[in-house]
Amino acid sequence: MSKRDERVRAREEHAKLGEEIAAHDRAYYQNDAPIISDAEYDALRQRYQALEAEFPELVDENSLSRTVGAAPAEKFAKVAHAVPMLSLGNIFSDEELEDFVARVKRFLGLDPQAEVAFTAEPKIDGLSCSLRYEKGVLVSAATRGDGLVGEDVTANVRTIADIPQKLAGAPPEIIDVRGEVYMSHSDFAALNERQAAAEKPLFANPRNAAAGSLRQLDANITAQRPLKFFAYAWGELVWGAAEPAPPADTQMGVIAAFRDFGFTVNPLTILCRSAAEMLAHFRDIESRRAALGYDIDGVVYKVNDLALQQRLGFVSRAPRWATAHKFPAEKAISVVRDIEIQVGRTGVLTPVARLDPVTVGGVVVSNATLHNEDEITRKDIRVGDSVIVQRAGDVIPQILGIVPEKRPEGAKPYEFPHVCPACGSAAVREIDAKTGEAEAARRCTGTLVCPAQAVERLRHFCSRNAFDIEGLGDKQIAFFYDKGLIGAPADIFTLQRRDRESLTKIENFEGFGKVSTRKLFAAIEARREIALNRFIFALGIRHVGETNAIRLARSFETFDALRETARHATPGSEARRRINDIDGIGEVVAEAVADFFVEPHNERALDALLAEVRILPMEALKSDSPVAGKTVVFTGSLEKMTRDEAKAMAERLGAKVSSSVSKKTDLVIAGADAGSKLAKARELGVEVIDEDGWLALVGGA
Ligand code: IVH
């Protein structure tokens, strides 16, 4: 395969993966109903990132690797911690707590009955941060990183209200104040509401939201995120000559000094004199956990006397003088009343268990995801079964398994539906081409008719490289769908006719008006004729992107020929082979094409659509374009198209799109606020044009 083909393939795969990952993100974060396991999800992410590593031009502002969770760590300057940021050992039981206390005493050569004081405080579930103050002034801030070297987040930290820029009182010469950056439950909920309103991805939990907010390249974004900070530890500490000397010979003393400096310290920090007291405090904090208003995942105990801390020292990367007592994953037993199937926006069927409401760790749970068909079979979960429900930290509830002895008589194994509950079309499990095994997810094939998929499909149908209907963007589609005016593709083309006969005219809807309504109708009319490849692409058949649409169009020449073959393309048939044999199209695509055309619901929707539009022969692929073979760079913000569209357009015309300007660059298209790339182009004497110049050059391709 030529390098160019490879790039085209990589781009296609990247886009597909991007869609898939985004769909899984929505399933997980928004619908509380993941479709795949964490490991499968990680594998998708890894492949996505590997593609970007190999083809850096794939990384743009829309890349998922720029969004939730995966902040581009390499973009932050590195900061070496003067004193390493340690982690903590974990304990999980009362016995382990006794052992910890006994071990400390043994190490110090103390009598087992001797009294050693420990502080006990909540373990905050955020991300730790080290703040360096010199002469009381904040000079830098770093994340933990690997404990030795972290990322410089100084500008971001300066936006956090809990963190003083200048220390109050009598601060030391130098101090690294350490603590946890976190987000409260209410701020987290409000942030996600704002994200949802802006159609941006939601954060999974307050910790991710805090991490994502702190590790922003643009501190202005951090400033809009309500982050908080608890100070609980320190790194380098040089008290200097300041008088009076602060009370710094105990952990509690330093924490009190932190408070005097202007930090927030956790009010649930107390001093304990025995394992029994520590345990009592652990139980107390555990019982208040749900009402704290922020996530904690345990209690941290620290030897109070700093001289003893010094003597105890460290084992590998954790102090001997401290440990984290973790809360157990919370579990409860409930009864499965029903198993419901949700259909996601991409047609995946996800089973959800409806449970008798039960409190798990302070939260009432009445639904739990069952992931997929195989998961139900593996755990043999039946309606009526008593099940063990677990909520670990903040993750969505899972069903660990059933309580076999409580199974009611006559409970029947669950039969996963083979039709989509939303539209009645067949729901199929694809065979993975590599492993030959059925995929975990069962998918609805009623692409054109399924209400669960409708909005997503309509968006695709109207998108630039499909029907390209101006004025029917995401918002308008959702609007018309909600109003019941557009449900299936054909409805777009009957909209004007129906509007003429309707009493509630579109022009009277808010945001429309006479002019834009007329424009919209004109834009729709202009697309009643469409090239075959675009038409095939617009149908949204699984695995049929632009390239495969072109392959099918080229091979069949007419839509009727494709349809006739595909509707008979049962496995092993001559027709299936005919599709399968097309260069570049394999079994997976052939199966998806057949599934689509075999589905009677789609057939009817297609007939309706074909009554409205006329299909023209395949588009001439414009390799005679003036930009064919040229290396182009887009920079600045474009107004008439997105960066992705511009790139796709350039590539369709045979140009190579690069992300950086060099001597090899033929043309730079500079939008508004173009910066260093534009300067570089000027310096190298590369031709620069604006967006309109580009559109003129490519003839509105
Ligand atoms: S003390 C040498 N105290 O837990 C002791 N850590 O598992 C350093 N954490 O990286 C940590 N709350 O991010 C300490 N009250 C607390 C804490 C706390 C949360 C985190 C911190 C650390 C991790 C270790």
Amino acid at 421: P
Q: Which band of pLDDT confidence, cut at 50, 70 and 90, is reported for residue 208?
A: confident
Picking from 86-95, 289-298, 476-485, 652-661, which range would have the lowest pLDDT averaged per residue? Answer: 652-661
Q: Which band of pLDDT confidence, cut at 50, 70 and 90, is reported for residue 345?
A: confident
42 known ligand binder: yes
Confidence (pLDDT) at 61: 54
Q: Is the pLDDT of residue 19 over 60?
A: yes
Q: Which fold has domain 3-66?
A: Helix Hairpins (1.10.287)
Residue 322, ligand 1, Cβ within 6 A: yes
Ligand 1 centroid vs 126 CA: distance in angstroms? 9
DSSP 592-659: HHHHHHH-HHHHHHHHHHHTT-EEEPPPPP-TTSTTTT-EEEEESB-SSS-HHHHHHHHHHTTPEEES
Task: List the end-to-end C-alpha distance of the chain, in Å, as a whole number.
Answer: 27
Confidence (pLDDT) at 609: 97
Q: What separation in angstroms does the CA of 399 have from each of 25, 114, 179, 371, 406?
A: 20, 46, 35, 10, 15
Strands laid side by side in the 656-658 sheet = 656-658, 631-635, 667-670, 687-689
Picking from 1-5, 196-200, 280-284, 673-677, which range would have the lowest pLDDT averaged per residue? Answer: 1-5
Confidence (pLDDT) at 125: 92
Higher pLDDT, 239 or 429: 429
Confidence (pLDDT) at 324: 95
**186-216 burial, b if ≥16 CB within 10 A, otherwise e?**
ebbeebbeebeeeeebbbbbbbbbbbbbbbb
Confidence (pLDDT) at 66: 46
Atom index in ligand 1 nearest the CA of residue 318 equals: 2
**Residue to probe by mutation, ligand 1, list 148, 228, 232, most atoms within 8 Å of CB:** 232
Point out which residues pair with 363 in neighbouring strands: 360
Distance CA 571, CA 579 (A): 11
Q: Which band of pLDDT confidence, cut at 50, 70 and 90, is reported for residue 583?
A: confident
Confidence (pLDDT) at 30: 42
| DSSP-based three-state secondary structure for 698 | helix
Picking from 34-43, 171-180, 528-537, which range would have the lowest pLDDT averaged per residue? Answer: 34-43
Q: Is the pLDDT of residue 678 over 80?
A: yes
DSSP 563-598: HHHHTT--TTSHHHHHHHTSTT--HHHHHHHHHHHH
Would residue 643 be called left, alpha or beta, if left means φ above 0 and alpha means ψ between -120 and 50 degrees?
alpha
Confidence (pLDDT) at 530: 95
Tell me the per-residue pLDDT of 435-452, one tens digit each, with 9 for 90 and over.
888 888 999 999 888 988
Superfamily the domain 531-616 falls into: 5' to 3' exonuclease, C-terminal subdomain (1.10.150.20)
CB 147 within 8 A of CB 155: no
Q: Which band of pLDDT confidence, cut at 50, 70 and 90, is reported for residue 43?
A: low
Question: Residue 30 gets which letter from DSSP?
Answer: I
Sign of CA dihedral 94, 97, 103, 109: negative
Residue 22, ligand 1, Cβ within 6 A: no
| DSSP-based three-state secondary structure for 217 | coil
Cα-flanking dihedrals φ and ψ of residue 28, to 5°? -80, -50
Q: Which band of pLDDT confidence, cut at 50, 70 and 90, is reported for residue 70?
A: very low
Structure token pair of residue 121: 């405080």
Residue 268, ligand 1, Cβ within 6 A: no
Q: Is the pLDDT of residue 5 over 90?
A: no
Confidence (pLDDT) at 245: 54
Atom 18 of ligand 1, nearest CA residue:
123
Confidence (pLDDT) at 51: 81
Give the closest residue to 397 by CA, choosing from 364, 363, 368: 368
CB 249 within 8 A of CB 222: no
Q: Is the pLDDT of residue 68 over 50?
A: no
656 known ligand binder: no
Higher pLDDT, 579 or 394: 579
The packing angle between helices 600-610 and 587-598, to 10°, is 80
Point out which residues pair with 531 in neighbouring strands: 616
Confidence (pLDDT) at 60: 67
Distance CA 234, CA 281 (A): 23
- Per-residue HEC secondary structure of 56-89 comes to HHHCCCCCHHHCCCCCCHHHCCEEECCCCCCCCC
Ligand 1 centroid vs 270 CA: distance in angstroms? 16
Higher pLDDT, 91 or 649: 91
Distance CA 218, CA 212 (A): 11
Q: Which band of pLDDT confidence, cut at 50, 70 and 90, is reported for residue 567?
A: very high
Residue with tokens 């941290």: 300
Residue 121, ligand 1, Cβ within 6 A: yes
Confidence (pLDDT) at 701: 47
Residue 123, ligand 1, Cβ within 6 A: yes
Q: Find all residues with CB under 8 Å of 398, minimum gap 6, and list them.
A: 368, 369, 389, 390, 391, 392
Confidence (pLDDT) at 105: 95
Q: Which band of pLDDT confidence, cut at 50, 70 and 90, is reported for residue 49?
A: confident
Question: Looking at residues 643-667, what average pLDDT do you find?
Answer: 81
Question: Looking at residues 648-657, what average pLDDT do you find?
Answer: 75
Question: What residues does each domain of the chain span?
Answer: 3-66, 90-326, 330-406, 454-527, 531-616, 631-698
| DSSP-based three-state secondary structure for 136 | coil
Point out which residues pair with 91 in neighbouring strands: 325
**Burial of 244 by CB count in 10 Å (0-12 exposed, 13-18 middle, 19+ buried)?**
exposed
503 known ligand binder: no
- Give the other-Cβ count within 10 Å of 28's Cβ: 20
Confidence (pLDDT) at 169: 87
User: Between 3.40.50.2000, 3.40.50.300, 3.40.50.10190, 3.40.30.10, what CATH number should domain 631-698 receive?
Assistant: 3.40.50.10190
Distance CA 577, CA 431 (A): 17
Q: Which of 218-227, 427-436, 455-464, 523-532 has the highest mean pLDDT?
A: 523-532
Q: Is the pLDDT of residue 523 over 90?
A: yes
Cα-flanking dihedrals φ and ψ of residue 80, to 5°? -85, 130
Confidence (pLDDT) at 700: 54
* Catalytic hit among 123, 647, 656, 677: 123
- Give the other-Cβ count within 10 Å of 356's Cβ: 12
Picking from 132-136, 399-403, 426-430, 650-654, which range would have the lowest pLDDT averaged per residue? Answer: 650-654
pTM of the model: 0.50
**Burial of 219 by CB count in 10 Å (0-12 exposed, 13-18 middle, 19+ buried)?**
middle
Give the DSSP H or E segment for 481: helix 474-482
Question: Residue 250 gets which letter from DSSP?
Answer: B
| DSSP-based three-state secondary structure for 153 | coil
Distance CA 140, CA 157 (A): 9
Higher pLDDT, 322 or 644: 322
Confidence (pLDDT) at 228: 97
Atom index in ligand 1 nearest the CA of residue 128 equals: 13
- Provide the percentage of residues in the chain whose pLDDT is more than 90: 54
Question: Looking at residues 144-164, what average pLDDT do you find?
Answer: 92
Ligand 1 centroid vs 309 CA: distance in angstroms? 15
Tell me the per-residue pLDDT of 219-254, one tens digit each, with 9 for 90 and over.
888 988 999 999 999 999 887 765 545 557 899 999
Tell me the per-residue pLDDT of 288-342, one tens digit each, with 9 for 90 and over.
988 999 999 999 999 999 999 999 998 877 899 999 999 887 788 999 999 999 9
Q: Which band of pLDDT confidence, cut at 50, 70 and 90, is reported for residue 73?
A: very low
Tell me the per-residue pLDDT of 458-478, one tens digit each, with 9 for 90 and over.
999 999 889 999 889 888 998
Q: Which fold has domain 330-406?
A: OB fold (Dihydrolipoamide Acetyltransferase, E2P) (2.40.50)
CB 34 within 8 A of CB 178: no
- The verdict on whether 78 is a catalytic residue reads no
Confidence (pLDDT) at 25: 66
CB 202 within 8 A of CB 29: yes
Residue with tokens 């009343």: 337
Amino acid at 216: Q
Q: Which band of pLDDT confidence, cut at 50, 70 and 90, is reported for residue 42?
A: low
Higher pLDDT, 299 or 663: 299
Residue 124, ligand 1, Cβ within 6 A: yes
Ligand 1 centroid vs 160 CA: distance in angstroms? 19
Higher pLDDT, 205 or 548: 548
Ligand 1 centroid vs 173 CA: distance in angstroms? 24
Confidence (pLDDT) at 72: 34
Give the DSSP H or E segment for 107: helix 94-107
462 known ligand binder: no
Q: What value does the mean pLDDT of the chain take? A: 87
| DSSP-based three-state secondary structure for 552 | helix
Query: Do the domains 531-616 and 454-527 match in fold?
Result: yes
Q: Is the pLDDT of residue 154 over 50?
A: yes
Atom 21 of ligand 1, nearest CA residue:
128
- Give the other-Cβ count within 10 Å of 297's Cβ: 17
Which CATH number is 90-326 given?
A: 3.30.470.30
591 known ligand binder: no
Q: Is the pLDDT of residue 71 over 70?
A: no
Which CATH class name applies to 454-527?
A: mainly alpha
Question: Looking at residues 347-372, what average pLDDT do you find?
Answer: 87
Tell me the per-residue pLDDT of 92-107, one tens digit each, with 9 for 90 and over.
899 999 999 999 999 9
